[in-house]
Amino acid sequence: MPEQPYDDGAIAPTGMGGTMDLATAEGETLEETPDGPQGTGPADKPRSLWSDAWRDLRRNPVFIISGLVILFLVVISIWPSLIASGNPLKCDLAKAQEGSQPGHPFGFDGQGCDVYTRTVYGARTSVTVGVCATLGVAILGSVLGGLAGFFAGFSDSILSRITDVFFAIPVVLGGLVLLSVVTSNTVWPVIGFMVLLGWPQISRIARGSVITAKQNDYVQAAKALGASSSRQLLRHIAPNAVAPVIVVATIALGTFISLEATLSYLGVGLKPPTVSWGIDISSASAYIRQAPHMLLWPAGALALTVLAFIMLGDAVRDALDPKLR
């Protein structure tokens, strides 16, 4: 193909018919698409893991449904009087085991207490225990596991052996032994027990995540530039190692609510006059044939709550796992 010089001395190819295309030579610019030559606009910024995860979660119906259920539970836990105007401790033995009546849609329990009111007020105890236990376990397990994974060596070996010891303790059996000697009728002994036996799982997750994160190039570069250990751990490693901890903690929250109900059912957890789904299930189990409604509603509320947190944890896991995305 013959070539002809531009006015400024540059060389431009001629077209197929032997004439030169002077679109650019005459100072005209080619129109670019909004997305740029590579399909990404110049104004676009690279998205982080968290922004990608939030975008996926907003499109996930499982997350939306479970989130709405959990939001409803949190609201009635804080303000149960919004949907239940009665007193959960007010009972009338004359109405014991009676079924649904106007103003009492769930009927009455063995003491004549309104099952609907007690089911609504029981959400406060279960959600409080689950949230507080999860926060305690996540903080304690993340700190111990993160430090062990970062410093490794002797401290890692000691923590691993201690973790193995706690893993060998059956949770329900440990609760029967430890809580049977507690006389306090508050939620704090139950929460403390869950934190005591629940941190090893989070600790192992955090340890493995920190070990993986500290091998990345950006951490090695920060170390080579003289960053202190605390800066490496808090600024570079922790933000990139916390995702698995969040997923496990979210799923564990439902497990802790279920564990509180189990311990209360066995008589070593919460005790009357505290309103709890586990206590109501324990009381209703003796009347399951005569008055099944006494067991149905608190057990259904417990199952729905645990299912909602498990679904939320699964949705968060799918959003934060790059392999699944």
What domains are defined for the chain? 107-320 (1.10.3720.10)
**Tens-place pLDDT, residues 292-322:** 999 999 999 999 999 999 999 888 888 887 6
**Tens-place pLDDT, residues 219-265:** 888 888 888 878 888 888 888 888 889 989 998 999 999 999 999 99
Mean predicted confidence (pLDDT) in 75-99: 90
Helical pair 188-213 and 171-179, crossing angle rounded to 10 deg:
140
The pLDDT value recorded for residue 288 is 87
Strands (E) in the chain, as ranges, are 3-5, 11-13
Please report the DSSP string for 49-63 in residue order. HHHHHHHHHHT-HHH
Please report the DSSP string for 122-172 in residue order. HHHHHHHHHHHHHHHHHHHHHHHHHHHHHH-HHHHHHHHHHHHHHHTS-HH
Q: At 209, is the secondary structure helix, strand, or coil?
A: helix
Going from the C-alpha of 13 to that of each of 17, 18, 21, 22, 29, the distances in angstroms are: 11, 9, 8, 10, 17
Q: How many CB atoms lie within 10 A of CB 76?
A: 19
Of 26-30, 144-148, 209-213, 316-320, the one with minimum mean pLDDT is 26-30
Distance from the first to the final alpha carbon of the chain: 49
- Whether 31 shows a pLDDT value over 70: the answer reads no
Half-sphere exposure of 318 (CA within 13 A, CB side): 15
Q: Which two tokens stand for residue 8?
A: 């400024």
How far is the C-alpha of 88 from the C-alpha of 187, rounded, in Å?
Answer: 18
User: How much is the pTM?
Assistant: 0.79
The pLDDT value recorded for residue 222 is 83
Q: CA Rg, the chain, in Å?
A: 30
